[in-house]
Each structure stands twice: as structure tokens, then as C-alpha cells.
Copies of this chain bind each other. A is one copy, B any other.
Amino acid sequence: MKKSISILLALALLFSCMLFSLAEDTLSPKYVFMFIGDGMGSPQISATEYYLGTMENPDATMPTAGKLSFTDFENIGIMTTYDATSFCPDSASTATSMASGEKTISGVLNYNVDKTESFKLITEYAKEAGKKIGVVSSVSVDHATPAAYYAKATSRNLNYEIALQAVTGTTLDFLGGGSFLKPNGTGDQENIIAIAEKNGFVLANTNEAILSLNSESGRTVANVPDTADSSSMQYEIDRVAKEAAGEESISLAKMTQAAINTLVNEEGFFLMVEGGKIDWSCHANDATTSIYETLAFSDAVQVAIDFAQQHPDETLIIVTGDHETGGLTIGFATTAYNTHLDYLSNQTMSYVAFNAVIKSLRSEKATFESALSHIEEAFGLTTTSDQALTLTAAELESLKSAFELSMTEADARVLGDKEALLYGGYEPLSMAVCHILNNKAGIAYTSYSHTGLQIPVYAQGIGAEKFNGSYDNTDIFTKTMDIMGLSK
């Protein structure tokens, strides 16, 4: 090879490297999706994939895993989630870390540890850069995780103040999910929805209105009409049952689609979507319900994946959890190496729906036998002998104790350490039933609170490779800012 050609080749290589690195530095995603499965760690993901595989392959002779929509994303990381209070952190502080890149104490939203200074949010930077901002949650829209993406509050419990920030001088273009927890504040404060409408927000609070939202709709508050406990959307297991009975009920996936339909524009958007009831069901040690919630969350991510396929080279999707909840494990002391995840499919309603059944039983002073027939109907646990879910004498005894407590009015119950361990402050009979079904299926929990497990991060699209590796939850902010070309 002649010398001159060699030099040219070298120059060309240098030039192409420069071009390549320039392209890498400047290519930033127009559409950014941040999905947070509240309480979703590897245990929730593993349990759901294995349940899915089990149910989809009833004739399989060996264990088969199913796949959630996001676990095949090309880039995976693992992050630490502890906050300034504990290794077992809170949703407010962990969402703060991801939204603003700073650690704070449990219960605080985007304020420092001393509660004297507030942090600037990624949604504020993104808004300044011209993007539309959306926040979606399956729980109330002013709950800790959604709130962290639009509000600053020294306590997550300041729901009216948080809601005010959602609709006044806000970054938000779309806020969807359940409704507001305290729309009237102390009762005599101006209604949040009224303020929102005064400030130019459209209220979509029917299924039809939500499903017909589009890019001409303008700034939108979307509240599902059929809210459940604490102003949240229905538990997926109950929502599916409603739909099976012919009633429409908006899923997290449909709400995510509504957000996209509303937000899509030439400057792009930043959309945070929370699967908030994975956490709630794991707090309550209701494994089946948490699996349904994880599936609903996965379906919502699929909506973003479908959108990304329409917008290749313009989209980044990040999927993670804020912390693990409940200390869920696939495996239990007495079932050892055996699992029977298919047993969970006998459960037909969430623990919250079953709490309502228990309430009726209490008001009608039902017998234990009557309760057992309701338990069989809702969870498959039976006194008929030689069935897969036949209750043992010890299980019947534990159900009896829980039944007696549950038949006492809540304020008349005597609850000690033993009951704290057995029921964690929940309706005793619901907990006893969930624990028995879980354990028979080979599932167990250690806690009714959040745990300190490090959490996987799945990322796909523009800049996603930055999410490979091990880091802290504050780096979710830093990396996303970096990829979006934003700086503090």
C-alpha cells in the first residue's frame, strides 16, 4: 500500500470515528418513557414470568418461563435503592432520587433531608427543553410516585398541596390514573378539578372521554370513573373480572395509550408511568394480585414498545422498580423445592375485594362454615378431602383464629406482636387466606413493608446502553438527563 493512501486511510478512519462519536453524543430521544413498577423487584418479575409460563404451558413436562414485555430489553442494570432514612426505603424518597437525582429521607418529595431546599425535577428540565410532560399511575394521581414527577412537598401526605401543584403553574400536560385523594383538601378548600379546569385542563372522567383523547385534546386530567381503594384504579384481577362480566374498565395500558395520544407532538414528550399496585398487593402479601398487577404493568410497557416501533431512533424506554415490597420469594420452608404456581389461578379477586366479602360476613354475623364457602369460591381453598388445595388441620386452625378476629369490629380487636407478624395490620382473614394459598403454591413473604433488595433496570432505545451496569437510583436521573442532552 502506498504511503499516501495509508495516510488517507488513517485520516478517513479518524474522520469516521469523529463523525460516529459526534452522532453518539448528539442523538437524543424525542420520546422518553420512564416506567416504575412500585414494589417491583426481581422477585415480582420472576414470579410473574414463571406463573405466566406455567399457565401458558399447562401440558409442559418441565418448568417453563413466560416473558414480560420488557425483560428482553437489550440493556440491564442493577441499582441500589436505599434512602437517607433506611436500606428499606420509601416510595417518596426513591421516586425523588429518580426524578431529581438526590437522596432524601423517607416520606419526603423532592426536598432535601432538612426539608429546607427543594430539588429541580427532570420533568422541569424536559419541559424547558420543549417536551410535553405526562404522568400516569394506577393509584391516585397525587400518590408519592406520580407526585415526585411534578411536585415538591416536605411530606407525601400533603395531598391537597401536591394536587395543587399538579394543576397550577405545572409542567404537566397529562395526568392520568385514579383520581385525587383529597380533591377538597380539608373539606372547604377549592376543588382541585375546578382549579384544574380554571387553569385550562380538560377533565376526562368517563371511559369514552379517556379513550377518545388525542393530540388536540390539550392539557388533560384523566381520572378513571371506576376508582377502587384509596382513589386508585381497579386491581387488575378485579378489572379483568369486571370486563369478563361485560363492564368496560380502563387498564393501565389503555391509560398509557391515552397519555401517548394526548402528548404526541413534534418536540416530543417525557412520560412517567407507574404500576402502583404491585406495591400495594405485595404489602398485603397477596401474591396472585401482585402477579396480575405486574402483568398489567407489562402490558402498559408494551404500549410504549409498540409506539417505539413506530418511532424508531426517537424513543427511549426505561423500566424499573422503586424498591421491592414484601420480601416475596418463590420457595417456602415447608414446600422446599416444590412450586405449584398454577394454584394461584384459583384466586378470583384481590384481597381488597375479599375484604368487602368479609365485611358482609361480619355484618350478617356469619358462621365459620359460611366463611369457608366464600374462601373456597374466591381462593379455591377447600375442606373437601384429597384435593390439591385441601386445607390441613393446622391451616383450618389458623383460618379459624383469623376469622374470629375479623368478625370482631376493627376497633374492638386485641392485637399483639403475634397478630402483627401474622396479619401486619391487614384484615386478618384476608391475610390468613393469602398466606395459605401463597405457601401451598410455594410462594412466601417475609414482610408487610418495603425491603432493601437491589432492583433491576431494563432499558431499550436511544442511549439505553448507558443503563448497563451497577449504580444508584439517583443515577437514573443523571443518565436520563445525559441521554436527553439536558444539564443541571
What residues of chain B lie closer than 8 Å to A418, measured between beta carbons?
A: 394
What residues of chain B lie closer than 8 Å to A73, measured between beta carbons?
A: 469-470
| A58 CB to nearest B CB, Å | 15
Which of A8-16, A136-144, A148-156, A183-191 has 4 or more CB atoms under 8 Å from chain B? A8-16
| A51 CB to nearest B CB, Å | 10
What residues of chain B lie closer than 8 Å to A355, measured between beta carbons?
A: none
| A71 CB to nearest B CB, Å | 5
| A397 CB to nearest B CB, Å | 11
Let me know if B452 and A106 touch, CB within 8 A: no
Of B12, B451, B470, which contacts A72 at CB under 8 A? B470
Residues facing B in A28-62 (CB within 8 A) are: 41-43, 45-47, 49-50, 62
What residues of chain B lie closer than 8 Å to A421, measured between beta carbons?
A: 333-334
Tell me the bound Cα distance from A50 to B81 in angstroms.
11
Question: Does A454 make an interface contact (CB < 8 A)?
Answer: yes
Let me know if B76 and A446 touch, CB within 8 A: no
| A410 CB to nearest B CB, Å | 20
Which bracket fits the contact residues of A? 35 or more
Let me know if B62 and A103 touch, CB within 8 A: yes
Q: Decide: A453 near B42, CB < 8 A? Known: A103-B62, A339-B86, A447-B333.
A: yes
What residues of chain B lie closer than 8 Å to A45, measured between beta carbons?
A: 454
Question: Does A448 make an interface contact (CB < 8 A)?
Answer: yes
Tell me the bound Cα distance from A72 to B470 in angstroms.
6
| A474 CB to nearest B CB, Å | 12
What residues of chain B lie closer than 8 Å to A458, measured between beta carbons?
A: 470
Let me know if A469 and B82 touch, CB within 8 A: no
What residues of chain B lie closer than 8 Å to A452, measured between beta carbons?
A: 46-47, 50, 329-331, 339
Let me know if A446 and B87 touch, CB within 8 A: no
Convert A418-446 into 0s and 1s, putting 1 for each residue whose CB lies closer than 8 angstroms to a CB of B.
Answer: 10110010000000000000000010111
Tell me the bound Cα distance from A421 to B335 in angstroms.
10
Question: Does A169 make an interface contact (CB < 8 A)?
Answer: no
Question: Does A412 make an interface contact (CB < 8 A)?
Answer: no
| A179 CB to nearest B CB, Å | 28
Closest B-chain residue to A19, C-beta based?
Answer: B13
Tell me the bound Cα distance from A337 to B418 in angstroms.
18
Residues facing B in A331-374 (CB within 8 A) are: 331-334, 336-339, 341
Question: Does A65 make an interface contact (CB < 8 A)?
Answer: yes
Of B337, B447, B472, which contacts A331 at CB under 8 A? B447
Of B71, B445, B449, B469, which contacts A336 at CB under 8 A? B449
Tell me the bound Cα distance from A9 to B10 in angstroms.
9
Of B5, B16, B331, B472, which contacts A450 at CB under 8 A? B331
Tell me the bound Cα distance from A113 to B75 in angstroms.
33
| A329 CB to nearest B CB, Å | 3
What residues of chain B lie closer than 8 Å to A15, measured between beta carbons?
A: 9
Tell me the bound Cα distance from A330 to B89 in angstroms.
11
Tell me the bound Cα distance from A209 to B64 in angstroms.
48
Q: Which interface residue of A41, A63, A472 has the most chain B CB atoms within 10 A?
A: A63
| A470 CB to nearest B CB, Å | 5
Let me know if B77 and A63 touch, CB within 8 A: no
What residues of chain B lie closer than 8 Å to A401, measured between beta carbons?
A: none
Let me know if A63 and B82 touch, CB within 8 A: yes
Question: Does A417 make an interface contact (CB < 8 A)?
Answer: yes
Question: Does A158 make an interface contact (CB < 8 A)?
Answer: no
Question: Does A85 make an interface contact (CB < 8 A)?
Answer: yes
Question: Does A408 make an interface contact (CB < 8 A)?
Answer: no
Inter-chain pairs besides A62-B103, A88-B339, A334-B421, 14 sampled, C-beta below 8 Å: A42-B78, A42-B453, A45-B454, A62-B85, A65-B82, A74-B468, A78-B456, A86-B337, A106-B337, A329-B451, A333-B420, A333-B446, A336-B447, A392-B417
17 of the cross-chain contacts (CB-CB < 8 Å) are A5-B8, A8-B8, A9-B15, A12-B16, A16-B16, A46-B80, A50-B82, A71-B78, A76-B78, A87-B339, A88-B330, A88-B339, A89-B337, A327-B332, A327-B444, A327-B446, A332-B447
Task: Report the 8 A-B pairs with minimum CB-CB distance, sorted nearest first.
Answer: A330-B452, A12-B12, A327-B329, A331-B451, A444-B446, A336-B449, A9-B12, A63-B82
Which residues of A are at the interface with B, using a C-beta cutoff of 8 A?
Answer: 5, 8-9, 11-13, 15-16, 41-43, 45-47, 49-50, 62-63, 65, 71-78, 80, 82-90, 103, 106, 113, 324, 327, 329-334, 336-339, 341, 392, 394, 417-418, 420-421, 424, 442, 444-454, 456, 458, 468-470, 472
